[in-house]
Amino acid sequence: MAQCPVEILIFSGKRKSGKDYVTDIIKERLSGVCSVLRLSGPLKAQYAQDHNLDLSRLLDATEYKEKYRADMIAWGESKRSADPGYFCRIICTGPGSEKPIWIISDARRRTDVEYYQTEYPGQVKTVRVEADESVRRDRGWVFTSGVDDAESECDLDETNFDLVITNNGDSELLENALTDLIEDIRSKLAV
């Protein structure tokens, strides 16, 4: 059962900037009061339900999934264009939404951010994880045409974020940024 969150941290960043790495640390330190919610999560579940498919087979790395991949992506896009808040809304009542702090770890579009800013005014903090291209490359990133230049990767490029976390491998710098952020979250929980 969902409750009204105290704060929603909306994370975004380029591929291999370290979004999962950073959000995992925050979740661990705020254990018990924080959930990581993924916008990509309900897509497969909803697609399977609407199309009467086997979700477990859709989630594993089989040909079954490959058979539906293109159609599933197109279905996701059509849902979003008809209703930009479609997936945003689903995760607000899904598993983890009972926790007071939500981390949305895979925001990709301005409409994702706008949805939460409209529905939860004053409770949203946008956080950008940044890493230099050379660092991202060292982590396995390879520029892929059609992916890295697609709207899903670039739509938030010009956004002004409430907080930018630099994740270039300087652990002290990262630690300081995380400590400040976590202190700020704890102070909101204490009110």
16 binds ligand ATP (CB under 6 A): yes
174 binds ligand ATP (CB under 6 A): yes
The DSSP secondary-structure symbol of 169 reads S
Closer Cβ to ligand ATP, 6 or 15, answer by number: 15
Among 12, 35, 46, 167, binds ligand ATP (CB under 6 A): 167
Closer Cβ to ligand ATP, 126 or 167, answer by number: 167
Residue 120 has which token pair? 């939860």
Between CA 30 and CA 141 the distance in angstroms is 29
Between CA 155 and CA 149 the distance in angstroms is 10
109 binds ligand ATP (CB under 6 A): no
User: Closest separation between CB of residue 190 and ligand ATP, Å?
Assistant: 28
C-beta neighbour count of 147 within 10 angstroms: 11
Closer Cβ to ligand ATP, 118 or 144, answer by number: 144
Spatial strand order of the sheet with 124-130 comes to 34-37, 101-104, 7-13, 124-130, 163-166
C-beta neighbour count of 145 within 10 angstroms: 7
User: Closest separation between CB of residue 90 and ligand ATP, Å?
Assistant: 20
For ligand ATP, which residue has the nearest CB?
18
139 binds ligand ATP (CB under 6 A): yes
17 binds ligand ATP (CB under 6 A): yes
User: Is 105 strand, coil or helix?
Assistant: coil
72 binds ligand ATP (CB under 6 A): no
Helix (H), strand (E) at residue 35 = strand 34-37
In DSSP terms, 10 is beta-bridged to 104, 126
- Write out the residues near ligand ATP by the rule CB under 6 A: 13, 15-21, 139, 167, 169, 174
Binding-site residues for substrate:
167
